[in-house]
Amino acid sequence: MTGERTATLDDVARAAGVSRATASRVVTGQGPASPRARDRVTAAVAALGYVPDASARALVTRTGTRLAIAVIGHTAAVLDDPYVGRVLTSAAHVAAEREVGVSLHWLPLADPGSLARLADGRGLGGLVVVNPTRPALESVPRTLRGRVAAVGVGARHVPSFDVDNRAGTDGVVRHLARTGRRRIAMVTGPAWLPCCDRAVDAYRRVVRDSGAEPRVVTGDFTAARGAEAATEIMARWPDTDAVFALSDLTALGALDGLHALGVRVPGDVAVAGFDDIAFAGLSRPALTTSTHPVEDIAAAAAQAVLDRRDTSGATFYPSALVVRDSA
Amino acid sequence: MTGERTATLDDVARAAGVSRATASRVVTGQGPASPRARDRVTAAVAALGYVPDASARALVTRTGTRLAIAVIGHTAAVLDDPYVGRVLTSAAHVAAEREVGVSLHWLPLADPGSLARLADGRGLGGLVVVNPTRPALESVPRTLRGRVAAVGVGARHVPSFDVDNRAGTDGVVRHLARTGRRRIAMVTGPAWLPCCDRAVDAYRRVVRDSGAEPRVVTGDFTAARGAEAATEIMARWPDTDAVFALSDLTALGALDGLHALGVRVPGDVAVAGFDDIAFAGLSRPALTTSTHPVEDIAAAAAQAVLDRRDTSGATFYPSALVVRDSA
DNA sequence: TATTGCGGTGGAAGCGCTTCCATGTATGGG
DNA sequence: CCCATACATGGAAGCGCTTCCACCGCAATA
């Protein structure tokens, strides 16, 4: 059983009758090699089932080839949301195309310094931060500068990719106003997420322009909170005729909450969400919402990091209004 | 800017006035070290912001500490399903608790041999295979034997964790029968997924017992396919009075397809799903389904691998009937 | 006082790989 | 026919780390 040792480059070289240097050149495809040597090494690799050791390679090349994805805010809410899964899936897909490994990291919101510790391996070629907060992004070690991107707007010095929720919100709220809604409430996302500010801002602007007062309630992107929030809103402002939630999950929850209250949708109150998740079209009434190209955004972030493109500043992806039955 | 080099163990040793060997002992916590040396090294580590290089460490210890998660069947269907995201999230969570890194891999269905190549780093401490197929599991390199687990039942020699979809299906179909449904159709998952067989088996048994003929249509776990399948079923067997789908997503799609056909649910046709995803309770009518503790299952698989527990054979997690409005 | 034992320590080897550099070995032109 | 040029090759160094081993000084024992 001692022979069970996995083959090393030395074994390959010996089997091929060349030096380790030559074997390395052939395997990596870098540097000159005669056809003859190439063939023999290739054969030996196949025969021995040789697979280069990533650690050893990373150690010498100093070129960590691993994309780290750090998700900030490790709470049940984050786990339930399909959002994170979609980001992961898409980023991992991009990485796989480039034959880059992906590593996942859950960072508690309270301890953003943990992002620093994440540089451990130095083996990582890049970092994508999901749900970025300013302190978290600022704790990213210098070593990685230029190889970091954020999904969701955060600090200034890191290229960020996010949906244009300002324009998206504007579109949804204007649609509500256009269809005769005058007392529109909004359920935001968690307060610590900087990205929500822009949306709330857009909402406020439209509502104020129509001469009404903003009615904002803080949410957390969950359905449960959506039901609660709807109840709160109807209790506090009984004449509310529209609820806009910055998350479809929350909007679906609100739909449920309103249903429980005996409020008809869209008859009495219109409901609109944001994200256009797969289920938005399947609810009754089908949810009016605004698209959120999560996969595109995550892919862009991953690409920016892996290709070392210095797409500085924030890039916003368009969000399109999807009118269904709920508003 | 040349000083920007990250600190190495040598730097720490020099700063602490000890040898590299001693520094290593203190940092790893292995082996003897005087309190004095311990303090000085600790201080130096803090001062220099030293973080051990994972590659170098892995190279010498040969003890890769990384949990690889391989998802088989890299198609759009797999990407859309919240299932994979939930598995990833949960497994990554378990790994994070043990301070183990997680790496993600998408394996095309057609090339299961790619699982072998995954052993590349040898740096991995374990492997969790999602959606396992027999050929894929059999291609797992020997090096990893004993450190592999599957989410979903697959080959015999690898410990597998899955929902008991036999009992779950039995419960759902019996519920349908109990509530007067006599001509029950079923939409399965993709044919290549071995786990579906058990469910189909349970369905067949119950239906046969009631003296009816099975009506099985192959699905792929997507909502789109659910709508299609519902249409197919009603065309082929117009007297169908219940549709059971092995995935909530598909069931929701069926709900939609039936709605488009003008079929009332549950009046004309009852619909039931499987998984009890977050949205199942939010649809109109709310979906009757059976629970699927994905997070528990994924966590168990991750734990089995990381703790080197030899939980051989398949472990099934209970699935509980959730009766809502659609059936 | 001479011996043993032991915890603390540094020297040095080596994990598997890439890459610089010097050394061949064929090729073309003068 | 000889030298310059190119290319192919092997030797050797070294990436940052762990760990074996020999060593040293000290306290406890004979």
Distances from the Cα of A3 to the Cαs of A43, A50, B61, in angstroms? Answer: 20, 14, 20
In the structure, how far is the CA atom of residue A129 from the C1' atom of nucleotide C6, in angstroms?
51
What's CA B67's distance to the chain center, in Å?
Answer: 13
Residues of B in contact with A64 (CB under 8 A): 55
3-state secondary structure of A127: strand
For residues A156 and A300, membership in a common domain is answered with: yes
Q: Look over chain A and give the mean of its residue pLDDT values, rounded to a whole number.
A: 86
CA distance A229 to A213: 18
For residues A206 and A222, membership in a common domain is answered with: yes
Q: Specify the pLDDT at position B2.
A: 36
Residue of B67, B72, B89 to mutate for A, most A C-beta atoms under 10 A: B89
Contact B315, B150 (CB under 8 A): no
pLDDT beyond 90 at A206: yes
Lowest mean pLDDT among A212-216, A298-302, B97-101: B97-101
pLDDT confidence of A117, banded at 50, 70, 90?
A: low
For residues A184 and A273, membership in a common domain is answered with: yes
Q: Dihedrals φ, ψ of A161, to 5°? A: -130, 130
pLDDT beyond 90 at A136: no
pLDDT beyond 50 at A142: yes
For residues B145 and B79, membership in a common domain is answered with: yes
Q: Specify the pLDDT at position B118.
A: 64
For residues A151 and A103, membership in a common domain is answered with: yes
Lowest mean pLDDT among A182-191, A269-278, B1-10, B28-37: B1-10
For residues A193 and A219, membership in a common domain is answered with: yes
For residues A285 and A169, membership in a common domain is answered with: yes
Residue that finishes a domain, picked among A29, A52, A75:
A52
Q: Is residue A59 part of a domain?
A: no
Distances from the Cα of A321 to the Cαs of A167, A274, A276, B184, in angstroms? Answer: 10, 9, 9, 39
For residues A79 and A145, membership in a common domain is answered with: yes
3-state secondary structure of A248: helix
| pLDDT tens profile B151-160 | 988 767 889 9
Q: Which nucleotide is nearest to B33 (CA to C1')?
A: C8
In DSSP notation, B10-36 reads: HHHHHHHTS-HHHHHHHHHT-S---HH
In the structure, how far is the CA atom of residue B7 from the C1' atom of nucleotide D12, in angstroms?
26
Token pair 């290549």 is found at B192
Q: Within 13 A of A234's CA, how many CA atoms are on the CB side?
A: 21
Q: H helices of B29-157, where?
A: 35-48, 54-61, 76-80, 82-97, 114-117, 134-138
**DSSP-assigned letter for residue A275:** B
For residues A33 and A113, membership in a common domain is answered with: no
Mean pLDDT, residues B250-268 taken together: 94
CA distance B65 to A38: 34
Mean pLDDT, residues B85-90 taken together: 84
Q: Specify the pLDDT at position A3.
A: 45
Q: Is residue B57 part of a domain?
A: no
For residues B171 and B157, membership in a common domain is answered with: no
Q: Is residue A195 part of a domain?
A: yes
Q: Dihedrals φ, ψ of B240, to 5°? A: -55, 135
pLDDT beyond 50 at A223: yes
Mean pLDDT, residues A17-41 taken together: 90
Which structure tokens are listed for A26? Answer: 């052939």
Mean pLDDT, residues B321-327 taken together: 95
| pLDDT tens profile B185-199 | 999 998 888 888 999
pLDDT confidence of A323, banded at 50, 70, 90?
A: very high
Q: Specify the pLDDT at position A54.
A: 80
pLDDT confidence of A287, banded at 50, 70, 90?
A: very high
pLDDT beyond 60 at A119: no
| Number of C-beta neighbours around residue A162 at 10 A | 23
Q: Which nucleotide is nearest to B57 (CA to C1')?
A: D17
- Residue B237 exposed, middle or buried by CB count within 10 Å (0-12, 13-18, 19+): middle
> Which CATH number do you get for residue B173?
3.40.50.2300
CB-to-strand C contacts below 7 angstroms: A 8-10, 20-21, 24-25, 27-28, 30-31, 50, 52-53, 56-57, 59-61; B 17-22, 25, 31-34, 36-37, 56, 59-60, 62
Q: Is residue A327 part of a domain?
A: no
Q: Is the CB of B61 under 7 A from strand D?
A: yes
Percent of chain B with pLDDT over 70: 89
pLDDT beyond 70 at B113: no
Mean pLDDT, residues A278-283 taken together: 83
The H helix count followed by the E strand count for chain A is: 13, 12
Lowest mean pLDDT among B6-20, B55-69, B186-200: B55-69
Q: Which nucleotide is nearest to B22 (CA to C1')?
A: C9
Residue span of the structural domain in which B273 resides: 165-290
User: Of the candidates A90, A104, A295, which has its C-beta nearest B102's C-beta?
Assistant: A104
Q: Dihedrals φ, ψ of B308, to 5°? A: 55, 30
* Number of structural domains in chain B: 3
DSSP H/E element including A290: strand A289-290
User: Hey, are the CB atoms on B279 and A281 less than 8 Å from each other?
Assistant: no
Mean pLDDT, residues A225-230 taken together: 96
Strand D bases, protein C-beta under 7 A? 7-12, 14-20
Q: Specify the pLDDT at position B1.
A: 35
Q: Is residue A135 part of a domain?
A: yes
pLDDT confidence of B239, banded at 50, 70, 90?
A: very high
In the structure, how far is the CA atom of residue B58 from the C1' atom of nucleotide D23, in angstroms?
29
Nearest residue to B181 (alpha-carbon basis) of B212, B136, B142, B150: B212
Mean pLDDT, residues A247-260 taken together: 94
CA of A212 vs chain B CAs: smallest distance (Å): 31
List, in order, residues 6 or more apart from A296 with CB less than 8 Å away.
A90, A317
pLDDT confidence of B279, banded at 50, 70, 90?
A: confident
User: Of the candidates A53, A102, A282, which has its C-beta nearest B252's C-beta?
Assistant: A282
Q: Is residue B304 part of a domain?
A: yes
> Which CATH number do you get for residue B13?
1.10.260.40
User: Hey, are the CB atoms on A88 and B93 less than 8 Å from each other?
Assistant: no
User: Between these two residues, A74 and A223, which has the higher pLDDT value?
Assistant: A223
For residues A210 and A220, membership in a common domain is answered with: yes
pLDDT beyond 60 at A5: yes
In the structure, how far is the CA atom of residue A25 from the C1' atom of nucleotide D7, in angstroms?
14
pLDDT beyond 80 at A48: yes
Strand segments (E) across chain B: 66-72, 101-107, 126-130, 148-151, 160-163, 184-187, 215-217, 242-245, 270-272, 289-290, 314-317, 321-322
pLDDT beyond 50 at B43: yes
| pLDDT tens profile A77-105 | 666 677 888 888 888 888 877 767 777 77
Mean pLDDT, residues A274-298 taken together: 91
Q: Is residue A326 part of a domain?
A: no
For residues B117 and B223, membership in a common domain is answered with: no
Q: Is residue A31 part of a domain?
A: yes
